[in-house]
Structure 1
Amino acid sequence: MKRNVTAIVTVLAVTGLATAAWASGGGGEHHADSGALLKDFLYRCLNFGVTFGLLAYFVTKPIRKGLAGRREGIEKSLQEAKVAQQAAEAKFAEYDQKLAKASSEIDDIYASIKREGELERDRILAEAKETAKKIEAEAQQAAALEVSKASGELRQEAARLAIEIAREILNKKITEQDQTRLVDEYMQKVGELH
């Protein structure tokens, strides 16, 4: 409102100064219709000032409201994106810890199976070396298969959960094209873990 009042006062001051300058510029000569010209000039200046003031008042207010609303919307979107990113990072850290723990458990299982296989081998060696070789090979194959199977299942579960969480987040914020692109990129990254 202060800007509008300032603009109107400025226009009126300029109009008044222009009128005074125009009126004093005639010197000693006076024309018969100089009063009519002055009246017409003042009317035009007043008309211009009123038109300019109305335009300034009615045009700047919606623009300011629109820009303020747009800024608030952008700030809200950025805040929501930041919260979603933090949630995704927390879930990623959680699954990363679970995957590390699962890898450690797999290593322990593998070591335990290997130890059991060695003990079995030693016991069977007393009976027959040939039988021990077959049992050791079977034990190692079984251990490798169990490790591979457990690792695959854990990765599939982590991928499924990550996709499910990402789908929920993406359904809220991202278009269908963006969802397709992001899922493809994530699946490619999960594939690189194998």
Structure 2
Amino acid sequence: MIGNVGSRRRMVLAGVVLLIGSLILCSLSFAAETGHGADRTGDLLDLLYRFINFALMVIILYVVLKKVNIKALLASRSEELKTRLAELRTGKEEAERKYKDLEKRLREFEQSREGIIEQFRAEGLAEKNRLIAEAEERVKQIFDQAETAVQREIESAKDRLRREMIGLAAENAEKILANAVTDRDQNRLVDEFIERLGKGH
């Protein structure tokens, strides 16, 4: 198709060159005739040459144009333009379809992005609440354990204090008794003890 169009263009160019060449020859012969001045003897012969020259030019132009087939050339060019226009329309429609598809996907992405962000926000809030509840439970357990440990320490300290107080009271009582009881009191206490034992048997 492209080679055919190229050869047609060459033919048209050749026809145009022949036409221009013929016109130049005609004008040169006309200029030569007018340059002789008053000698008009060969007017009929000159007219015949001009007519033959013009006829040859018309025949050559006709042959060239027939070989070129202007209608086919114009029809071919018209078909090329129609095909190209159809391709451009198809390309435009395809581009518009892709653009609409991209717009739709972008809207869907925006909607899904909002949904994902909202889901992450809800999951984050739930996780935060769960962690706070776990921390509060752990703090409560730690306080309970600490309170139990403190109560045990208090009870242990009370027991130690009681034992120390009993020990101190016994020591003080011993000291008081040791200072207050004389040898005579001791003998009397021993005698009373023996009497009680004797009465008991």
Structure of higher CA gyration radius: 2
What TM-score results when the alignment is normalised by the length of structure 1? Answer: 0.47
- Which structure carries more relative contact order (alpha carbon 8 Å, separation 6+)? 2
What TM-score results when the alignment is normalised by the length of structure 2? Answer: 0.45
